[in-house]
Amino acid sequence: MTYRAPVDELRFTLVEVAAVDVLKATGAFPDFTDDITLAILEEAAKLANDVLAPLNKTGDAEHCKLDNGVVTTPTGFRQAYAKFVEGGWQGLQFPTKVGGMGLPRALGVATLEMVQSANMAFGLGPMLTYGAIEVLLVHGTDEQRAAYLPKLLNGEWSATMNLTEPQAGSDVGALRTKAEPNGDGSWAVSGQKIFITWGEHDCADNILHLVLARTPGSPAGTKGLSLFIVPKILDDGSRNGVQAIGLEHKLGIHGSPTCTMEYSGAKGWLIGAENAGMKAMFTMMNSARLNVGVQGVGIAERAYQQALAFAKDRKQGKAIDGKGPGPHPIIQHPDIQRSLAMMKSKIAASRAICMACAVAADLSEYAEDEDERAAAKRREELLTPIAKAWSTDIGVEVASMGIQIHGGMGYIEETGAAQHLRDARITPIYEGTNAIQAMDLAGRKLNMQGGAAFTELYADIELTIEACSTSSHPDLPLLGERLEEGLDSLREAATWMSEADPADVLAGATPFLTLAGEVIGGWMLCIGAVAARRRQKDKLGDPVFAAQRIALAGFYCEAVLTLAHARVDDITMGVEMISDVGFGVD
């Protein structure tokens, strides 16, 4: 199956839905123009289509190999990484003053989606490096930034995130890796980390490991964690005391080396303050959470494209409105069309959420007005757990639907449809499970600053409801009605959650995040429908594309938003009804 990057969809979502052009007024992106946006998308599409996508199945079949601490990536990965470095893609969304291209984060999200669609196992490497760059920008010293950023930004070096240990998964505070001062400003880091993505490989000249560890006398739990930079290769060219001692055999992402790392007095340097490691690491994790959401969108797009191509080619049965003798292509069957429409609409909704989150992140940093920066920060913080959790849930759902459209052939590895589901399944788990994202949304973001983030969200959705309701297009007023019904359900659930007992809040957190994702996703599609109608009236762009965007929003509103009221009962049932089921424990 050949992947083709959806450049038109990405560009429309960036400009018309996520409103990336508002960033031009900040003055922070002087090189950001319409021509640059199109050029970047088209060049990234070439990399994704022609270089990375053909290696996706190769990586899945070959896996990575570990021999005496050295990891060999699948055939073609080194050459593909060299192409990635040659294009300067690692530094696209970072400031020019430190060696980046100085372009918006949302454009980085669009290019990352193409990379993840084409080859998710490959894309994990650069994705982790993005996070390390952000940590250095925010928490690093001038000397650290000068020493490490140039090589990370040009892609010659890669980076990892080292949190997890056998006894410390989601409970990060239970980790035991230790760091002892060497007396020369460096630290000796010792311990074992597991599930380290791209922890060892043969693509980059050096690997910077960002490692959470405990210093002598540090407090228990997360308050006693510090973050260290531990290079694989030291400045003098010698190998540091860190080695991959194991390579995980996983359900999916076989081309991504997931390592067990052993630190044996490895030389490292503190980044940020001692015992402030979680603050620094959260910078990396928040970056990774948005980017993992983009992975969900990317793998969903890949699965959708493959299912669509199969449905056009596979002939079975006589379609109810089929012309001529059967069998007809299965895409002519209404149930297959419904499945494809559900896939396409949820991809578009989750893509828009991720891009809107990225735009908010840039506005929170670069908007001229302090109040605007604060509001944008609230929007970023609200959208981040939804972008991560809802988008990755969509990735799994769409990949599973893709197998269903293939029928029995989807269950056969030969077609490649199964790989998408196997690859997608990790995304709701890593970088904070989706349940943790739901608890963050319900437990922190909902009542943050007196509920300001949700109040502002409601007001913005109401503006779109008004735009739909007053549109001259006959289909848009109904979109406004459905969106208003969804908003009312979200408000009702949010009000209950903000007043409920903590145990009831936790019990309802996951369906609450789902409802928030569905309503916000519907809002995004309605924004797109309004923009498409404007394009129709102004005779701009492809009229077929505009009509399909309106139809896409209409389908989603009827198939998804009409179910919002039922979510409220699920959210508000309370913990007692759940615990009464009985699980064989006291």
The domain defined by 158-276 folds into: Butyryl-CoA Dehydrogenase, subunit A; domain 2 (2.40.110)
Catalytic hit among 200, 431, 484, 518: 431
- Residue 114 CA to residue 7 CA, distance in Å, equals 9
141-144 LR contacts (CB < 8 Å, sep 24+): 144/229, 144/269, 144/271
pLDDT (0 to 100) of residue 326: 86
At 2 the pLDDT is 78
- Kindly report, residue by residue over 272-322, the tens digit of the pLDDT: 999 999 999 888 888 899 999 999 999 999 999 999 999 999 999 999 988
Strand intervals (E) in 248-328: 258-271
Domain boundaries, given as residue ranges, for the chain: 7-153, 158-276, 433-586
Under CATH, to which class is 7-153 assigned?
Answer: mainly alpha
Element (H, E) at 508: helix 502-538
Identify the weakest region by mean pLDDT among 33-37, 510-514, 578-582: 578-582
Mean pLDDT computed over every residue of the chain: 96
What letter would DSSP give residue 258?
A: E
What average pLDDT score do residues 247-259 get?
Answer: 97
Residue 442 has pLDDT above 70, yes or no: yes
pLDDT digits (tens, 9 = 90+) for 498-519: 999 999 999 999 999 999 999 9
Nearest to 256 by CA among 285, 287, 292: 292
Of 351, 288, 295, 256, the C-alpha closest to 9 is: 351
Q: Which has the minimum average pLDDT: 168-172, 223-227, 484-488?
A: 168-172
Task: Please indicate whether residue 431 is annotated as part of the active site.
Answer: yes
Query: What is the band of 220 on the pLDDT scale with cuts at 50, 70, 90?
Result: very high
d(CA 291, CA 277): 21
CA angle (248 as vertex; 415, 161 as ends), nearest 5: 110
pLDDT tens for residues 349-382? 999 999 999 999 999 999 999 999 999 999 999 9
Give the mean model confidence (pLDDT) for residues 432-436: 95
Selection from 244, 234, 242, 246 nearest residue 265 by Cα? 242
Cis preceding linkage at 327, omega within 30: yes
Instruction: Name the helix (H) or strand (E) containing 336.
Output: helix 334-366
Report percent pLDDT > 90 for the chain: 94
Burial code (b: 16+ CB inside 10 Å, e: under 16) for 62-84 equals bbbebeeeebbbbebbeebbeeb
pLDDT reported for residue 168:
81
Q: Please answer whether residues 513 and 442 qualify as being in contact, where contact means their C-beta atoms are separated by less than 8 angstroms.
A: yes
Complete DSSP assignment for 80-149 = HHHHHHHTTGGGTTS-GGGTS----HHHHHHHHHHHHHH-HHHHHHHHHHHHHHHHHHHH--HHHHHHHH
The single residue listed with the structure tokens 């502002």 is: 456
Q: What pLDDT shows up at residue 174?
A: 85
pLDDT at 1 over 60: no
